[in-house]
Amino acid sequence: MTHSKAHKDMGLFITFEGGEGSGKSTQIKLLKEYICSLIPDIEIVLTREPGGTEVAELIRDILVNGASDKLSPRAEALLMIASRAEHIDLVILPALGRGAIVLCDRFKDSSVVYQGLANNISKEEIDKIHEFALKRCEPDLTILLDIPSETGIKRALDRNESDQRFEQKGDAFHQRIREGYLKLAAIYPERIKVINASQTVRSISDEIQQLIKPMLIDRTHK
Ligand code: TYD
């Protein structure tokens, strides 16, 4: 955890990662409710990537809904991380400075896994770009919702049948995304906690709460 100490004492930065249909947004909402029930007066910022600021949402439009297949692989990685730099400067660091808890749907690990795989850019190269863009803003904790890719794709399609993106990329791609995440979790076992996302919504949220609870108690007793 290289999150700078001043921020660490004040805020808490938690990121959620996982493949398509892993249930991140449901779990983020449930975690917010849980934290509010424990510490009603705490500020909680829910945000997502790519996006989270006005300009970052415009970049998201290009990357997620627009012509990302026309972008060169390096340009795609740089745009993704440019939007992250903006998000950090305008949203995440100010919120942590105010003592807020920031819950972010995807962050740097998505770039390592997705851009690494889809665009064949090495982890070392992505790490180098992050070194410049992140200003040492690291998550205190990353929840990786791990699910077999077939189950995830099925869930994502059930949620939005008109969305063809998941099928277009194919099973093998989603399988490699899953493996990429698990490899990252093995490199950073302190920060990235893997949760079996094939369980019920309730069991998953219970596990997440068990992970977060000690961090919150730490804060309330400071
Ligand atoms: P989104 O519809 O938000 O998907 P999900 O619900 O799975 O988060 O689209 C985000 C897409 O952007 C997703 O396919 C992953 C991709 N992505 C990257 O390729 N690199 C990144 O750094 C980030 C943050 C997202």
| CB-defined site of ligand 1, < 6 Å | 20, 49-50, 64, 80, 106, 110-111, 114-115
The pLDDT of residue 219: 65
Instruction: Report yes or no: 15 and 46 within 8 Å, Cβ to Cβ.
Output: no
Distance set, CA 130 to CA 61, 83, 139 (Å): 21, 12, 13
- Nearest Cα neighbor of 103 from 37, 172, 41, 15 is 15
CATH architecture assignment, domain 5-220: 3-Layer(aba) Sandwich (3.40)
Residue whose CA lies nearest to ligand 1 atom number 19: 114
Distance set, CA 89 to CA 53, 82, 95, 141 (Å): 10, 11, 10, 19
Other C-beta atoms closer than 10 Å to the C-beta of 127 total 13
The pLDDT of residue 37: 95
Phi, psi for residue 16 in degrees, rounded to 5: -120, 135
Q: Which residues pair with 44 in a beta bridge?
A: 101
Ligand 1 centre and the CA of 58: distance in Å? 14
Ligand 1 centre and the CA of 16: distance in Å? 11
The ranges assigned to domains in the chain are 5-220
Full strand arrangement of the beta sheet holding 101-105? 44-48, 101-105, 12-18, 141-146, 192-196
Ligand 1 centre and the CA of 165: distance in Å? 11
Residue ranges in the chain whose pLDDT is less than 50: 1-8, 222
Distance set, CA 102 to CA 15, 95, 140, 158, 197 (Å): 8, 7, 10, 29, 22
